[in-house]
Structure 1
């Protein structure tokens, strides 16, 4: 399932890179996500929670902030009294992993409920809705040198994900990598 398919009610535009260039020559181009910032009730508890689900390196840490490394991106955790467990049914962020089935097993082991949604979604203890997708299934690529630096040189894409990338001129075999 692609990231776009997991948001079944949303229609994702399928524009080409040429279309985007021709309609926005005077604006900066979005090229990715640098980080996602999450409010949590306690930094130590948040790091322990995410460590129970994912293998990661800590990029940095302060008394009320921590930064979870994701190669060329990161998650910024900020401790705040405003972080409560009130949830929101639509707002979420998606994490790309090398093995979504491993995350699903960990959720079961830790007795963390999965949401009734397409794909793999859950709430963290502070009400942040988290979506987890396999790298191989999404139209998102990392360059070979970034994957190598992350120790993930064996990751591949499904035929469906590669076709979506080819349609946009973004597949590794169509971009000259």
Structure 2
């Protein structure tokens, strides 16, 4: 990569967009595992709110045709054990990757991580707005501190 001047810095993810076969079915599938408000819907898409971010699920006739081993996104949750129980209750097979990974019915791979265990952080006012009171493990705080980002 050339160092030819100022560049914008990546500061987070506004949203992740996934292809699904049917937006209504996708809403039901994700709703059977996660708790979320719906940010919006169209005839062919549903937008699942995650505080200051969202997951966009849009219909695509080719959904499920392009799944591969490595492409995925990491979804941060407040309680990974709840996700494990919901996946089991819904009969969703976990991937043998050592973490909490699974595929939705259209082949999209989701890797679930718990908020307190990773460096990903929401601002206090965003957590308050989401009615969440979450802490971090010492290991996650150490990761943040190593980058000069530990909370005061």
TM-score (norm 2): 0.95
> What is the CA-CA distance between 1:24 and the residue it aligns to?
8.3
Unmatched tracts of structure 1, length 5 or more:
1-22
Runs of 4+ in 1 over 3 A off after TM superposition: none
User: Do the aligned residues in 2 keep the contact of 1:86 with 1:126 (CA within 8 Å)?
Assistant: no
Is 1:94 the counterpart of 2:74? The answer is yes
Query: Which residue in 2 is equivalent to 1:156?
Result: 135
User: Do the aligned residues in 1 keep the contact of 2:144 with 2:150 (CA within 8 Å)?
Assistant: yes
> What is the CA-CA distance between 1:163 and the residue it aligns to?
0.2
RCO comparison, higher one (Cα < 8 Å, 6+)? 1
> What is the CA-CA distance between 1:84 and the residue it aligns to?
2.3
User: What do residues 12-34 of structure 1 show as CA deviations (whole Å, max 9, x unaligned)?
Assistant: xxxxxxxxxxx786000110000
User: What do residues 75-123 of structure 1 show as CA deviations (whole Å, max 9, x unaligned)?
Assistant: 0111110112553100001100000000001111111111001210000
User: Do the aligned residues in 2 keep the contact of 1:65 with 1:76 (CA within 8 Å)?
Assistant: yes
RMSD: 1.3
TM-score (norm 1): 0.82
Equivalent positions of 1:13-92 (< 5 A) are 26-84=6-64, 86-92=66-72
Query: Which residue in 1 is equivalent to 2:106?
Result: 126
CA distance in 2, matches of 1:99, 1:85: 31
Query: Which residue in 1 is equivalent to 2:83?
Result: 103
Unmatched tracts of structure 2, length 5 or more:
none
User: Which among 85, 101, 122 is matched to residue 142 of structure 1?
Assistant: 122
| Secondary structure at the counterpart of residue 69 of structure 1 | strand
